[in-house]
């Protein structure tokens, strides 16, 4: 069986890797898998930080038994109740019946609701402390990052933040556990995708959490997904990623997301992209919504300021995959995006009207004139697409 990994002194990593699951939350692709991270401090008192998905409970409990080396388990700190982190809680309580479950009031309600456990639960409030001996734990409530019960736990002596899902990434840990043991840059895009897909709606709560933690001296970030961040430059980097994303601050660039049944709407997308490049915009991402998972399109929309959406009319509405993408964007309450749009139809147009409504609903800044094409590309449509591309480029360059 796998053994726990000693990160430092009396801190052990007892997480697991999931290379089997295809979709995170049954929504988001996992081509590189995902890790479920759990940690153990062995002091005068022992404390476990979160558990793992129940599918991996046997490996997890074996690692925990080995790391404890005959000691009792005194506390399990629940920073986040989502089942990929709390799923082994019942089995843990069966193995260690005297362990105290530590969480806030909302945590306790969910422990009761998910696992029918109400005894041996220690309820804490924001700023409360718990001494393990050498280690002193301070609890910070960070609601809606990204569930209402989420919190973070800070070891004030060793300056470690156990951050729950915050600063987490998709992707398994393939041998290395800490950022110093691997190439951390390979996780950056997966961190952005994780944030935009899972946390994206909650920019304001993330900002509040970052402000609450801003005065802490942090030497290590132990998230529940992805690497353990230990190097000062990497800690600064991942915090800056979360800060930027939660402010909806995009880089110069344009995502063109389009649907196309027979290629005519795609021609419009390519024409707009051509002019953007002619105008000096180098970050141009074209996504065919029927070929590319929305997970990656949403990630790129979070990365870049410009968004242009194109759709044919389909059953007097938008192309279904475009409609679905727009609903996901709206559900994330995104801000500070420059928006352009175009559409096509054969006998009765509706796509451009729906895209106009989307722009109004999201309060995105509309750039250029929308383009509507009947049946196929003509010179006037081509020129209008060129104009749309130039208008977006000009708007982006104003921010330089």
Sequential pLDDT tens for the chain (400 residues) = 689 999 998 999 999 999 999 999 999 999 999 999 999 999 999 999 999 999 999 999 999 999 999 999 999 999 999 999 999 999 999 999 999 999 999 999 999 999 999 999 999 999 999 999 999 999 999 999 999 999 999 999 999 999 999 999 999 999 999 999 999 999 999 999 999 999 999 999 999 999 999 999 999 999 999 999 999 999 999 999 999 999 999 999 999 999 999 999 999 999 999 999 999 999 999 999 999 999 999 999 999 999 999 999 999 889 999 999 999 999 999 999 999 999 998 888 899 999 999 999 999 999 999 999 999 989 999 999 999 999 999 999 999 9
C-alpha to C-alpha distance for 342 and 256, rounded to whole angstroms = 10
Q: List CB contacts of 256: < 8 A, sequence separation 6 or more.
A: 269, 272, 273, 284, 285, 286, 287, 308, 309, 310
Q: Indicate where the chain has its CATH 3.40.50.360 domain(s).
A: 254-397
Within 10 angstroms of residue 55's Cβ, the number of other Cβ atoms is 16
- CATH 3.60.15.10 residue ranges of the chain are 5-246
If you ran DSSP here, which 8-state letter would residue 66 be given? Answer: H
Residue owning tokens 């915090």: 239
User: Residue 82 belongs to what H/E stretch?
Assistant: none
What's the topology of domain 254-397?
Rossmann fold (3.40.50)
Instruction: Locate 68 and state its tokens.
Output: 């404890």
Does the N-terminal peptide bond of residue 396 adopt cis geometry, omega within 30 degrees of 0? Answer: no
C-alpha 343/C-alpha 61 separation (Å) is 55
d(CA 230, CA 226): 13
Residue 128 tokens, joined:
């409360």
In the numeric block, the tokens 């005068």 are attached to 44
CATH number for region 5-246? 3.60.15.10
Q: How far apart are CA 190 and CA 227, in angstroms?
A: 12
The Cα 98–Cα 75 span in angstroms is 9
Are the C-beta atoms of residues 127 and 153 closer than 8 Å to each other? no
- Judged by phi (left if over 0) then psi (alpha if -120 to 50, else beta), residue 331 lies in alpha
């Amino acid at each position: 069986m796998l053994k726990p990994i000693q990160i430092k002194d009396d801190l052990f990593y007892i997480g697991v890797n999931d290379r089997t699951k295809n979709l995170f939350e049954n929504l988001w692709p996992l081509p590189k898998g995902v890790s479920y991270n759990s940690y153990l401090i062995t002091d005068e008192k022992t404390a476990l930080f979160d558990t793992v998905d129940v599918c991996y409970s046997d490996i997890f409990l074996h690692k925990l038994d080995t790391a404890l080396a005959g000691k009792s388990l005194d506390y399990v700190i629940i920073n986040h109740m989502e089942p990929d982190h709390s799923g082994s809680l019942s089995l843990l309580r069966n193995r260690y019946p005297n362990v105290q479950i530590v969480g806030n009031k909302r945590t306790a309600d969910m422990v009761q609701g998910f696992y029918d456990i109400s005894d041996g639960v220690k309820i804490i409030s924001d700023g409360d402390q718990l001494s393990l001996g050498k280690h002193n734990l301070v609890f910070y409530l960070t609601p809606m990052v990204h569930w209402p019960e989420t919190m973070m736990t800070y070891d004030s002596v060793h300056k470690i933040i156990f951050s729950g899902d915050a600063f987490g990434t998709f992707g398994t840990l393939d041998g290395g556990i800490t950022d110093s043991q691997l190439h951390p840059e390979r996780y950056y895009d997966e961190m952005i995708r994780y944030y935009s897909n899972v946390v994206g709606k909650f920019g304001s709560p993330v900002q509040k959490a970052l402000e609450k933690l801003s005065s802490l001296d942090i030497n290590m970030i132990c998230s529940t997904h992805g690497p353990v961040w230990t190097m000062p430059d990497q800690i600064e980097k991942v915090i800056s990623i979360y800060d930027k994303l939660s402010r909806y601050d995009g880089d110069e660039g344009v995502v063109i997301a389009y649907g196309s049944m027979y290629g005519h709407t795609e021609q419009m997308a390519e024409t707009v992209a051509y002019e953007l490049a002619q105008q000096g915009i180098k970050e141009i991402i074209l996504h065919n919504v029927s070929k590319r998972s929305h997970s990656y399109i949403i990630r790129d929309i979070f990365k870049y300021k410009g968004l242009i959406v194109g759709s044919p009319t389909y059953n007097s509405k938008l192309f279904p995959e475009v409609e679905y993408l727009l609903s996901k964007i709206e559900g994330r309450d995104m801000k500070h995006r420059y928006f352009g749009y175009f559409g096509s139809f054969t006998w009765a147009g509706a796509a451009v009207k729906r895209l106009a409504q989307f722009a109004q609903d999201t309060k995105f800044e509309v750039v250029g004139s929308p383009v509507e094409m009947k049946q196929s590309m003509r010179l006037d449509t081509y020129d209008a697409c060129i104009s749309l591309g130039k208008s977006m480029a000009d708007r982006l360059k104003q921010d330089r």
